[in-house]
Amino acid sequence: MKFRFLLLVLIVFVYAASSAQKAKDYAIQLEASISPSSAEVTLSWITIPGATEYKVSKRNTQFNTWVVVGTTKDTFYVITDAEVSKPTYYQVEAIDGIKAFGNIYTGHKVTPIHHRGTLVLVVDSLFIDSCQTEILTLIEDIIGDGWFVERININRNATDVQLKGKIKELYNAIPDVKAVLLLGHVAVPYSGNIYPDGHTNHQGAWPADVFYADMDGNWSDNYVNVTSASRTENQNTPGDGKWDQSILPSKAELQVSRIDFFNMPLFVESEVTLMKRYLAKLHAYKSGSLQIVKQGIIKDNFGGFSGEAFASTAWRGFAPLLGRDQVLEKEFISALNETPYQWAYGCGPGSYTSCSGVAKTADFVKNAQKGIFTILFGSYFGDWDNANNILRAPLCSPEPSLISFWAGRPHWFIQVMALGDNIGKAFLNTVNNNSPVVFQPPGYLPGGVHVALLGDLTLRTDYIQPAESIKINTEKGQGATIQWSPSPDKDVLGYYIYRSEEYGRGYERISDLVMDASYQDKNGDDGLKYYMVRPCKLENNPSGSYYNLGLGIVDSATVSYPESTLNNDVPDLEGKIFCSPNPTSDFVNIYLNIDQIINMPEYYRIRDLNGKIIKDRVKLLGKEQHVIREDLSSYPAGMYLIEFYQHGRIVAVNKLIKM
């Protein structure tokens, strides 16, 4: 009997060990089907070797914790009473057998994202004149995708401290700064005493663009003293300008990415030419004019790797975006040379210029690289700031490779992109996945300073061909008529119209979904107006569905409005908006008696008594928003005015006293 028991244990051990050889086995590849009529979400996956049961959890976004909703022995689970229109994270964990996890971000007909925040565009002085036209197109595309843009031009010889100071000035002055896009070889921060690739001759400081993402952490340069690294760039000693921190000292507030073609001599083109080429293919992709195969390929040369399963990042992440059947195992370079796959992952033993079994930098010179989002992992090249680095090589390709990052230590979580969010959100989820760990499995060194995103962080998975040929007709006292040629995309449902009084900032939606190719704007203050038109389409994928907005097209005109219409539209808000507590020492709640307000204010501003705007253009969130909470703890004591606006004019003012 004892012999049989030991034999059984041995068989189980051998089975588990053999099963663990594939990174795929560590990834629960989730898909979701949604029934809005019954408020049900059905999650499904394939069997994980050795698993006897699966635990299903839902993320509590308020506390960054997971709440178990149930367990099952099946490979599906039905969640009842789900808020299907609200984007929700679910996680599935295998019980017994291999320690496998899956994550998905699911929702049904999720509302479109009209405004994404303010992006700080940092431009290397080399490109200010040489790429002027291409940068203007980049800015127009970013604005057209729902961002406001603030630009910093800076000499590439400026220090990381100087650049971060400029970023922090904007962050403190503008309430909705969400991202920083570094264009060129501006200062590369180095930080840490790390070697996440496992090589002690590579121990020390690694490139750390996350330095620009952290607005309130304490960064020091006084105690790390390590000089064993082969490259002097990685050696880190007190007072040398390289930071001590190996893990972010506080959560990153900002998305950060870099587009940098410095020191890539294997490509015969100049740094300026490579930048021009990248920005041109970026515009083509965002305009929806490229034919992309919505599949993902994986070339894994590490396997399970004692449970780290580096490629499980891709198996776990691709399925919710593309579908399990659309994730393929392929040879990397040959596959991408033939087919424009949207996603590609490759891992293997590496050097600064190679990933064994996947590619070398020279391969990207000789071959087309048609994958849009490229993920690589291997030794050395995660430290990307060196000559002909393979992690930057895909972006140098003339074909539309637009994103590259190093994933496996730690794992990345791209599932958020399924419902219309940009790759920068995936970066933020990944770099902040530490203390507490939110997404499983975190992999080695979660929250490490080496986590980096190369390419344009605003990129999304789905783009619509924009509308064309916008035209604005005006007559004195009659407002404006905006007309456009429809998007060539036959699945477009309609268009949203936005208006601003300044180019590139302050766009506010002034219409519901418009089915026709024209719109009349009859309410507002006379003056110069910028109008934007964006197409809308319902996108479906294995995570659910969402309303996707294409890039906006913009034109301007000087407009005068009918006075009688404007006067009749001013809402009576007396007694329907109030603030409490008032006076306050920290927080104040702004209460809106929504049921009584027919014409909802569009936004509000907070000013001091000198007229200085303390908080600008805070959007009200629709009729379901009854209480808005403002933190005034950092404001000086005194009286403030909260001004409520509709159609660009003040319709109500509340006085507030800060003690």
pLDDT for position 631:
83
pLDDT for position 2:
39
Q: How many CA atoms lie within 13 A of 319 on its CB side?
A: 22
Q: Are 71 and 95 in contact (CB under 8 A)?
A: yes
pTM: 0.84
How many Å apart are CA 413 and CA 430, to the nearest integer? 6
Q: Tokens at residue 137, please?
A: 């197109």
Q: Please state which CATH class domain 577-658 belongs to.
A: mainly beta
Residues of the chain with CATH 2.60.40.1930: 577-658
How many Å apart are CA 532 and CA 552, to the nearest integer? 6
pLDDT for position 611:
65
Q: Are 255 and 424 in contact (CB under 8 A)?
A: yes
pLDDT for position 605:
82
pLDDT for position 18:
40
pLDDT for position 645:
75
Strands 65-72 and 53-60: antiparallel
Rg (CA), the chain: 26
Q: What is the mean pLDDT of each run of 10 residues along the chain (659 residues)?
A: 36 39 94 91 96 94 85 96 90 94 96 95 98 96 96 97 98 94 99 97 98 98 97 98 98 98 98 98 95 97 96 98 98 95 98 98 91 97 98 94 98 98 98 94 97 99 95 94 97 96 86 95 91 97 97 94 57 68 84 62 76 69 65 81 73 79
User: Is domain 469-559 classified as CATH 3.40.630.30?
Assistant: no
Q: How many CA atoms lie within 13 A of 30 on its CB side?
A: 30
Tens-digit pLDDT profile for residues 586-610: 888 888 765 555 556 777 888 877 6
pLDDT for position 359:
97
Q: Are 215 and 248 in contact (CB under 8 A)?
A: no
Encode 574-607: b = buried (16+ Cβ within 10 Å), e = exposed: eeebebeeeebeeebebebeeeebeebbbbbbbb
How many Å apart are CA 535 and CA 288, to the nearest integer? 12
How many Å apart are CA 380 and CA 431, to the nearest integer? 20
How many Å apart are CA 142 and CA 456, to the nearest integer? 10
Which residue shows structure tokens 């921060």? Answer: 189
* Percent composition of the chain: helix, strand, coil (DSSP 3-state, to 5): 20, 35, 45
pLDDT for position 599:
59
pLDDT for position 568:
46
pLDDT for position 1:
39
User: Is domain 23-108 classified as CATH 2.60.40.10?
Assistant: yes
Strands 527-541 and 577-580: unpaired
How many Å apart are CA 250 and CA 215, to the nearest integer? 9
Residues of the chain with CATH 2.60.40.10: 23-108, 469-559
Torsion-angle region of residue 625: left (phi > 0), alpha (psi -120 to 50) or beta? beta
